[in-house]
Structure 1
Amino acid sequence: MATSQVPPSVPWHFTELDDRLFQIRGRTFFFVAVLFAVILLVTFIFLYARWVCRFHQLTTFSAPLPVHRLPSSPPQQGLGATTIISLPITLYKPPAAKEDAPGAAANDAGECSICLGVFEDGEKVKILPPCRHCYHSECVDRWLRSHSSCPLCRVSLCIDPSNNLEMV
């Protein structure tokens, strides 16, 4: 007859547990203390380096520049309010569908490429002179305050003072 091996019984009562398995011995305590010290040292070095970088930035930016190295004013990013107001505003009229080109009506559908809203018949739209792209007035005005080009084709709308042309 074969003898079957019975697994040792598992103690289920807390008084039967051996606490010696959970003790921290000298070598383990040493490694835990060294690991904690290394983490603490790296944290302090990181914080010190961060403080030095911030202090260096503050002193660099607060120091006055020599007179001969003063930076010039940055170029204006957008258009002026008078230029934006002077752009023509018209009432939108949808293009007539062409009989000979079946896909032409879908391609010519009026849509503001800034807000992606469809133009309604009789709605006010602003047309940019160099490229003839049209947008909602509010959308393109907000765009032109920070940019000086058409949002769709990026043609420049800046006034060129050397030429006597209205738009470049």
Structure 2
Amino acid sequence: MSNLSTNDELKYYCDNVDYYKHENHELKKVVFQLKLEMKSQLEQCLIEQKHNLKCVVKKYKGFIEDLLVQKSQLSVKCDDWKQKLEYQYQIIEEQRQQIYNQQQIIQQNLLTIQEIELIVEQQRIQKQIEVQQIMNLKDQTIDELHQIIQQQQQ
């Protein structure tokens, strides 16, 4: 009986080994199949992502190109405005210099006018003195003439 039992056990063991071999083989098939499916899905996913990435790159490449064109146009406009501003600054500086020069001329003219007014005032005072002297002389001459006339009448 022991022999039989060992034989049965051996047979049971072999059946189990065969069963597990078969199960292992089936599992390997399933794993292989899953690997193929996963690989296929991953490839499909990568293809889609690559396509999406190309679309995004194309979209943003166009967007960036548009921005670069706008930047270039704005740069040209900025350069134009900068030149205009520099020209305006130059004009303003020239006008400021002209105003300064005119102020200097006006200041000099005012000084000259003041000097002339002083000279005129001095001449007026001198003329008044001369007129006063002449008036005094006239009065004196009239007095002398009156005296001469009075002497002749006597």
TM-score, normalisation: structure 1: 0.25
Q: Which has the higher strand share?
A: 1
Q: Which has the larger radius of gyration?
A: 2
Relative contact order: is structure 1 or structure 2 higher (C-alpha 8 Å, sep ≥ 6)?
1
